[in-house]
Structure 1
Amino acid sequence: MTSTDVRTDGAPDPEGKGRDRRARTRGCLPFAGVCAAALVLLLLGTRIGLLPGFGDFFGERTTDRSGPAVLKAVQDMSSYEAASGNFQVVVDLEKDTKFVPDAIRGTRTLYVGAGTVGASVDLGQVAEDGVKVNEDRTEAELRLPHAVLGKPALDPDRSYAVSKQRGLLDRLGDFFSDNPGSEQAVNKMAAQHIGEAAEESGLTARAEKNTTAMLQGLLGSLGFEKVTVHYG
């Protein structure tokens, strides 16, 4: 006796086409499942890194192929850095889009920025009549420019992001970006706040006081008994 296949609609299928289709479908399902599982493991291992035991398998290796640093210019310095201040600021930077919920588009970053600001006196700006010495060379009077603040220098070892909140579109943008989660904006904001704090800290006055003490000690060792320093 010969068997006759029956299609799903109840009609006979003497050529067994339905059976072949079901067989091919059953054969593709395991392959598709293996591919999906491999893709999930790859994403978890490379992006999230939370699977125990897969750290070494998906571990990243950093190779430095940078060329040697090239000296472009040399500049002689005549400024005396007489004081330096260490500052820390907490930056809370939020960016929103009009008429769009924050869960869709928007970022908020809480960042701790730490850096230093130096205050110096430019001794090279002393005018010709800025130094007066008496005939006995026992007294000297100097007129120097006021101390100025340098640019804030952030310390990457002490600066860090506490938290980041991003909308869905921002997360997708970071996923496909070559530089995800750029901290350029918060770095710039932290440097700005540190510079403002340095202007109110009295750092320049301290630098002028230290410069006066340095010059009095230096000229005193050369035999000057009285050294007077003016600024401005």
Structure 2
Amino acid sequence: MANPSGVDEPTREYPAIEEPASASAPPAATEPSATEPRGPGAFARVLLFTGVVFALIVALCLGLRAINVLPSFDNPFSDKTTDRSQPVLLQSMRDLSRYVAADGTFQVIVDLQENKENIPEFLVNKRTLFVGSGTVEAYVDFGQLASGALTVDEANKTVTIKLPPPQQGQASLDMQRSYVVAEERGLLNRIGDAFSSDPGRQQRVYQLAQQRITEAAQASGLDQRARENTEKMLVSLFGRLGYTKVTVEFTTP
């Protein structure tokens, strides 16, 4: 008697058990699990995530340091300068009656060499190459006006002024624009400098540069510029006071 249709079939609640494959059949390929990383893509995502987190941490630290929340981590061996200078002492004070009518800025190259005769320079030699920049002022000292130096004619509105000749001051070195280019020393000088120094040598270089600039200013026509500027100033001053003619005369030195 034939079995009814579907009697020998496995029930739907329990799936059929597959028969084991024969030894000769190759094993079936298993599909990768959904939780397993698939190739280099997962590594790239992890690397990207790590970089983003690191960048956020760095930005946070910089922001906290900018608002002085975190301490600064500077170089522990950085240079440190300590100013132990004493208070400034006022030595003198004086009243000036000078009218600075002109000034000139000069530059000089000082090449100062000191050596010994009959001794090679490589043994005993001191040579300094110095570039000095300084300013010289030309002025008229109104404190030296003689009696009767000013003559005023109110009727004709004229003024006559007799002034002392312009003078020049000593050159004032600008240390921000003056510098030592090179220094040469002999073998014995180097050994001697290791035990003692010569601060007076630097002072001699400064004095020589100051002297050269002062001499150059005397031949530069700075005095004539001071005469012209002083005359223009006085003419403008008395002209505003209503005087129509102003005569300025400089006495001979």
Asked if Structure 1 and Structure 2 have the same fold, meaning a TM-score greater than 0.5 normalized by the shorter chain, the answer is: yes
Aligned position for 2:240:
221
| Structure index of larger Rg | 2
In structure 1, distance between residues paired with 2:144 and 2:162: 10
Kindly state the Cα deviation for residue 168 of structure 1 after the two structures are TM-superposed: 1.4
Equivalences for 1:52-91 in 2 at 5 Å?
A: 61-91=80-110
In structure 2, distance between residues paired with 1:153 and 1:147: 18
Asked if residue 183 in structure 1 is aligned to residue 202 in structure 2, the reply is: yes
- String of CA shifts for 1:162-195, please: whole Å, max 9, x gaps: 1111111222232223566942121111111101
Alignment partner of 1:108: what SS? strand
Aligned residues: 177
Higher helix share: 1
Alignment partner of 1:95: what SS? strand
In structure 2, distance between residues paired with 1:173 and 1:77: 47
Structure 2: state its 5+ residue gaps: 1-74
Aligned position for 2:216:
197
Alignment partner of 1:73: what SS? coil
Alignment partner of 2:93: what SS? coil
In structure 1, distance between residues paired with 2:79 and 2:199: 17
The answer (yes or no) to whether the contact 1:91–1:189 under 8 Å persists in 2 is: yes
In structure 2, distance between residues paired with 1:61 and 1:180: 25
Could you state the TM-score of these two structures normalised by the residue count of structure 2?
Answer: 0.65
Structure 1: state its 5+ residue gaps: 1-54
Match of 1:113 among 128, 132, 136: 132
Amino acid at match of 1:96: N
Relative to structure 1, is the Cα distance of residues 84 and 167 closer, same or farther in structure 2, using a 3 angstrom cutoff?
Answer: same
Kindly state the Cα deviation for residue 71 of structure 1 after the two structures are TM-superposed: 1.9
Amino acid at match of 2:137: G
The answer (yes or no) to whether the contact 1:117–1:153 under 8 Å persists in 2 is: yes
Relative to structure 1, is the Cα distance of residues 180 and 199 closer, same or farther in structure 2, using a 3 angstrom cutoff?
Answer: closer
In structure 2, distance between residues paired with 1:91 and 1:164: 12
Amino acid at match of 2:148: D
Kindly state the Cα deviation for residue 101 of structure 1 after the two structures are TM-superposed: 1.1
Task: Indicate the larger mover: 179-188 or 86-95.
Answer: 179-188
Alignment partner of 2:86: what SS? coil
In structure 2, distance between residues paired with 1:181 and 1:206: 36
Asked if residue 95 in structure 1 is aligned to residue 114 in structure 2, the reply is: yes
Q: RMSD of aligned C-alpha atoms?
A: 2.0
Relative to structure 1, is the Cα distance of residues 226 and 181 closer, same or farther in structure 2, using a 3 angstrom cutoff?
Answer: closer
Amino acid at match of 2:187: L
